[in-house]
């Protein structure tokens, strides 16, 4: 009897606390000009910037998508959300779902059992560069920092381009770019704060604010400094940290910082907030000398008073050293390591003289069958065989509950922000920035820090290494990739097939809307990477070479009903130059 009553009681508590939030989102083209230059962006319900998802921990989120773009597919990834038991809702195209075809509806449905600052973004063809991205803020009625702030403020920073992403990707991937510029990345036109410029944040004297700072850029690492206001960092990538005061933060793309800001005691003046894109990531030969890499916003105490010019500041090396942050829960290093993985990343030119990114010599290419569907349809005696996921999915099978240690070596001389889906990893070791031509060998016997920093996106320095640990306790398909969108498109992705047997036992239900878009695009939902359901090790027909000219979000143009293909959309300039 007692057990029964307790159950009813708990159920009551749970339903009182946990809500279901339903978002109905039509994805469409929206005319915008955040920096004064008119173009179209990918927006939601006729509006851009895209709305914030605001939830309490434990809430269920349902997002009903209708793709009204007409000429591009779409998908949405909820960055940093673990999707425990709901891997089919993670979002990356050809990894956990098919692209959502133009005209198709699609439902995401999952519970958020985490707290802090996250974001969502398209996960197909570099589409978030064109605007489909927004904050996710998960409020926590039991936050250890309650009482230290009165108001929460969202502060996004991003790079911004005047040319639409598919054309930029085409150019980035073209042999021409490789020949002339050595494959350099497109350089942004502007920096945006909350997808705008000259944003004013109203501030009350003596007020306390929790700023959720999110870098939603395609490429740029961004420094953020509030003039004459200290930032007390209390969270990184959704992980509460021991509070630490800093004067400046640096966010690689996809990283987040939650900071408490104490307002001045009076309204005598207003203060500038400066954001500055790290120019060292841009190839000087394609960076215009007049590029403004900064954007300014203001803490407005008194709207009648002037808005000061942003003071110049020095980039602080300490802003790059996020290893100083320790998780609030003081979690010690995971161990002993049962499943080491060595990854060496770099760039190479393929036979077609395209600039391709590689992990252990393999460039990622989306496969015919989404990897999750391969894992769900494979016979039990094949599901743990990495071969069935196709060579170019770069698949690593992780045993259930393995303590995985990734040792990542970066042979490139630029820094890369690496993101793991479905987890927050511990950063066990990372090399400091070094001179351009240095190539460091990762150490083999590292003594982990007592309380390693934990986050979901970490910067590996040029020529350096990073050593990460996590527990493979979340069965599903989890991508591990650089978060620079140009590099994602060039193949800098590995696929972790995490606990595939336990994944099959979960009995995930693939909703009808997920299957329908696959059918519409002619994408098979069973079989190995090549769609073979008879001989699972026969990969004949699997995708092993990237298309030479066809980049950007997969589309199903009205003219080719039911045919799955990439869009052709080379810019006329590239075509002319090549011919
Ligand atoms: C798709 O349509 C939009 C809106 O008309 C247009 O701006 C965009 O360039 C098109 N994209 C491609 C890749 O053709
Ligand atoms: C939610 O997260 C907490 C803390 O990480 C964990 O203890 C709990 O088991 C999770 N609950 C569910 C339903 O996943
Ligand atoms: C910025 O936009 C203009 C078009 O307004 C374009 O011609 C130029 O190349 C762009 N610059 C960069 C650095 O992307
Ligand atoms: C802010 O707090 C200080 C110290 O408590 C007090 O002297 C001051 O009057 C307060 N300012 C305002 C505008 O309330
Ligand atoms: C951007 O801001 C940084 C930091 O204050 C400064 O050093 C740099 O000169 C600024 N760039 C431009 C183009 O004003
Ligand atoms: C990558 O290729 C190079 C040259 O072909 C070879 O020396 C190296 O061993 C390969 N590395 C891996 C991890 O396969
Ligand atoms: C399955 O395919 C593999 C690879 O092509 C081949 O070696 C093997 O003989 C095939 N097995 C059968 C039963 O046909
Ligand atoms: Cu990268």
Considering only CA atoms, which residue is closest to atom 2 of ligand 6?
361
Query: DSSP readout, 206-270?
Result: T-EEEEEEEE--SS--EEEEETT--EEEEEETTEEEEEEEES-EEE-TT-EEEEEEEPPSS-S--
Question: In 69-202, where do the E strands start and end?
Answer: 76-79, 105-111, 116-122, 133-139, 151-160, 190-193, 200-202
Residue 470: count other Cβ atoms within 10 Å of its Cβ: 24
The per-residue pLDDT for 550 is 52
The per-residue pLDDT for 265 is 98
* Distance of alpha carbon 212 from alpha carbon 12, whole angstroms: 32
Query: DSSP readout, 49-96?
Result: SPPPEEEETT-EEEEEEEE--SS--B-EEEET---TT-GGGS--BTTT
Hey, which of 282, 288, 294 would you mutate to test ligand 5's pocket, going by the most ligand atoms within 8 Å of its Cβ? 294
Residues flanking ligand 7, CB < 6 Å: 535, 537-538
Handedness of CA 194, 199, 204, 208 (dihedral sign): positive
Ligand 1 centre to CA of 71 (Å) is 6
CATH, domain 148-324, list 2.60.40.420, 3.40.50.720, 3.30.70.260, 3.40.50.300: 2.60.40.420
The per-residue pLDDT for 179 is 81
The per-residue pLDDT for 369 is 97
Burial environment of residue 272 by CB neighbours within 10 A (0 to 12, 13 to 18, 19 or more): middle
Give pLDDT < 50 ranges for the chain: 1-16, 551-579
Q: What is the mean pLDDT of the chain?
A: 91
Pick the closest to residue 376 from 387, 366, 388 (CA basis): 388
Top-level CATH class of 339-521? Answer: mainly beta
Ligand 4 centre to CA of 54 (Å) is 32
The enclosing H or E element of 407 equals strand 403-410
Ligand 8 centre to CA of 107 (Å) is 30
The per-residue pLDDT for 339 is 98
The enclosing H or E element of 447 equals none
One fold for 2-143 and 339-521: yes
Ligand 6 centre to CA of 564 (Å) is 33
Question: Parallel, antiparallel, or unpaired: how do β-strands 271-277 and 294-300 relate?
Answer: antiparallel
The per-residue pLDDT for 353 is 85
Domain ranges of the chain: 2-143, 148-324, 339-521
Residues flanking ligand 4, CB < 6 Å: 205-206, 265-266
Burial environment of residue 273 by CB neighbours within 10 A (0 to 12, 13 to 18, 19 or more): buried
Total-model pTM: 0.92
- Across the strands, what pairs with 31? 40
The per-residue pLDDT for 2 is 35
Ligand 7 centre to CA of 492 (Å) is 30
The per-residue pLDDT for 285 is 86
Hey, which of 293, 297, 310, 316 would you mutate to test ligand 5's pocket, going by the most ligand atoms within 8 Å of its Cβ? 293
Nearest ligand 1 atom to the CA of 71 is 1
Pick the closest to residue 489 from 347, 328, 290, 282 (CA basis): 347
Angle (nearest 5°) at CA 18 between 16 and 22: 125
Hey, which of 33, 164, 558, 574 would you mutate to test ligand 1's pocket, going by the most ligand atoms within 8 Å of its Cβ? 164
Compute CA distances 400 → 173, 182, 387, 397, 474, whole Å: 37, 42, 19, 10, 8
The ligand placed nearest to the CA atom of residue 113 is 2
CATH architecture of 2-143: Sandwich (2.60)
Handedness of CA 433, 434, 438, 440 (dihedral sign): negative
| Residue 207: φ, ψ to 5° | -70, 160
The per-residue pLDDT for 438 is 85
């Amino acid at each position: 009897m007692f057990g029964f009553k307790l159950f009813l009681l708990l159920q009551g508590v749970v339903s009182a606390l946990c809500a279901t939030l339903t978002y109905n989102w039509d994805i469409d083209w929206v005319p915008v000009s955040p920096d004064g230059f008119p173009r179209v962006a990918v927006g939601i319900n006729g509006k851009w910037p895209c709305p914030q998802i605001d939830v309490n921990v434990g809430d269920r989120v349902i997002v009903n998508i209708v793709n009204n773009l007409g000429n591009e597919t779409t998908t949405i990834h909820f960055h940093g959300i673990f999707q425990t038991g709901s891997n089919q809702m993670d979002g990356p195209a050809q990894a956990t779902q098919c692209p959502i075809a133009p005209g198709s509806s699609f439902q995401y449905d999952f519970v958020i059992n985490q707290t802090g600052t996250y974001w969502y973004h398209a996960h197909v063809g570099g589409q978030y560069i064109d605007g489909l991205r927004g904050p996710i803020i998960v409020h926590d009625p039991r936050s250890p920092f309650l009482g230290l702030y009165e108001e929460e403020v969202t502060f996004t920073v991003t790079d911004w381009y005047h040319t639409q992403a598919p054309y930029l990707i085409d150019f980035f991937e073209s042999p021409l770019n490789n020949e002339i510029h050595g494959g350099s990345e497109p350089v942004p036109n502007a920096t945006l704060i909350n997808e705008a410029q000259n944003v004013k944040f109203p501030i009350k004297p003596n007020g306390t604010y929790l700023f959720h700072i999110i870098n939603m850029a395609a490429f740029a690492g961004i420094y953020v400094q509030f003039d004459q206001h200290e930032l007390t960092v209390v969270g990184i990538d959704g992980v509460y940290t021991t509070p630490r005061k800093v004067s400046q933060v640096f966010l690689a793309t996809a990283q987040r910082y939650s900071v408490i800001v104490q307002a001045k005691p009076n309204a005598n003046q207003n203060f500038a907030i400066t954001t500055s894109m790290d120019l060292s990531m841009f190839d000087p030969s394609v960076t215009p000398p007049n590029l403004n890499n900064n954007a300014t916003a203001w803490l407005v105490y008194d709207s009648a008073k002037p808005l000061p010019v942003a003071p110049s500041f020095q980039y602080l090396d300490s802003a790059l050293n996020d290893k100083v942050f320790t998780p609030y829960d003081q979690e010690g290093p995971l161990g002993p390591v049962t499943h080491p993985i060595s990854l060496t990343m770099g760039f190479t030119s393929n036979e077609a003289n395209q600039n391709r990114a590689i992990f252990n010599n393999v460039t990622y290419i989306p496969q015919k069958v989404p990897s999750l569907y391969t894992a769900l349809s494979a016979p039990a005696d094949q599901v743990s065989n990495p071969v069935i996921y196709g060579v170019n999915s770069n698949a690593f099978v992780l045993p259930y509950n393995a303590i995985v240690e990734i040792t990542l070596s970066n042979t490139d001389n630029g820094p890369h922000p690496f993101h793991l889906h479905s987890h927050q990893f511990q950063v066990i070791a990372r090399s400091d920035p070094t001179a351009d031509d240095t190539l460091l060998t990762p150490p083999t016997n590292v003594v982990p820090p007592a309380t390693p920093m934990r986050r979901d996106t970490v910067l590996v320095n040029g020529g350096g290494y990073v050593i990460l640990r996590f527990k493979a306790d979340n069965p599903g398909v989890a991508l591990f990739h650089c978060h620079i969108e140009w590099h994602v498109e060039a193949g800098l992705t590995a696929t972790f097939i995490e606990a595939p047997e336990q994944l099959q036992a979960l009995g995930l239900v693939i909703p009808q809307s997920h299957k329908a878009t696959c059918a519409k695009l002619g994408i098979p939902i069973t079989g190995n990477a090549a769609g073979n359901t008879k001989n699972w090790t026969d990969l004949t027909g699997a995708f092993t070479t990237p298309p030479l000219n066809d980049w950007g979000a997969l589309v199903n143009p009205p003219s080719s009903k039911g045919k799955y293909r990439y869009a052709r959309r080379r810019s006329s300039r590239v075509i002319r130059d090549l011919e």
